[in-house]
């Protein structure tokens, strides 16, 4: 039986990643590193996702209204089906982009990357078991929101397509947890210490290992 974290039961894959991560944590602590978890509960992340994405979403919606001012029109039934298929494809693409960027900077490439779904929260995820530099981790967590959210929303303003705009807005909203992690990472003070940044193996967020730099 898989052990439980504070809020949910871990899957077998998550449990294996947890055990690997804890062993790696013990190794680094033995080398003089101090571990600090910068994590969020899934529910907390989903709630805050709305808050941190509003400053991005509202300007796009306002700009579209000013530039195009189109009224809402009802789609035929197949239009909603196509929209659902595209949204699903974008959600899958979101995690694949995470994985591709992680793999670019991980020594073992895609062998260090894992995908999954927290079914109790209907939340897909991608994680990397290797440590990354701060700038590489930041790029990995923000790339999907930029590529599938911000860029489509900008294209929608250029061509006047509210459906592309809605899809972009939904993907920005879906990247709220990533944006929240990026904010935490950007404001994390290393105080001149040597730092290793790990994607947390089963929670939303990351773990930072830091120690004083050798003289």
Q: Which of 36-45, 80-89, 158-167, 179-188 shows the lowest per-residue confidence on average (mean pLDDT)? A: 36-45
> Which pLDDT belongs to residue 50?
86
pLDDT beyond 80 at 64: yes
Q: Is residue 203 in some structural domain? A: yes
CA distance linking residue 180 with residue 196, whole number of Å: 19
Q: Is residue 28 in some structural domain? A: yes
Q: Is residue 6 in some structural domain? A: no
- 207 contacts 38 by C-beta, under 8 angstroms: yes
Radius of gyration of the chain (CA): 19
Domain, as residue range, for 100: 12-211
What's the total number of domains in the chain? 1
User: Across the chain, what does the average pLDDT equal?
Assistant: 87
Q: Is residue 87 in some structural domain? A: yes
Q: Is residue 1 in some structural domain? A: no
Percent of the chain with pLDDT over 70: 92
pLDDT beyond 60 at 66: yes
Give SS3 for 31.
coil
């Amino acid at each position: 039986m898989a052990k439980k974290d504070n809020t949910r039961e871990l899957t077998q894959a998550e449990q294996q990643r947890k055990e690997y991560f804890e062993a790696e944590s013990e190794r680094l602590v033995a080398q003089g590193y101090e571990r600090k978890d910068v994590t969020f509960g899934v529910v907390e992340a989903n709630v805050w996702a709305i808050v941190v994405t509003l400053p991005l979403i509202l300007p796009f919606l306002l700009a579209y209204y000013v530039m195009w001012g189109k009224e809402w029109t009802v789609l035929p039934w197949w239009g909603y089906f196509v929209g659902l298929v595209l949204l699903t494809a974008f959600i899958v693409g979101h995690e694949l982009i995470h994985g591709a960027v992680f793999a670019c900077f991980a020594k073992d490439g895609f062998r260090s990357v894992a995908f999954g779904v927290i079914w109790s929260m209907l939340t897909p995820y991608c994680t990397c078991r290797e440590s990354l530099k701060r700038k590489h981790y930041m790029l990995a967590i923000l790339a999907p929101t930029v590529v599938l959210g911000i860029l489509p929303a900008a294209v929608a303003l250029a061509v006047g397509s509210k459906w592309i705009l809605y899809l972009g807005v939904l993907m920005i909203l879906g990247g709220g947890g990533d944006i929240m992690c990026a904010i935490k990472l950007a404001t994390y003070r290393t105080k001149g210490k040597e730092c290793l940044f790990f994607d947390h193996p089963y929670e939303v967020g990351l773990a930072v290992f830091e120690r004083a730099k050798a003289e």
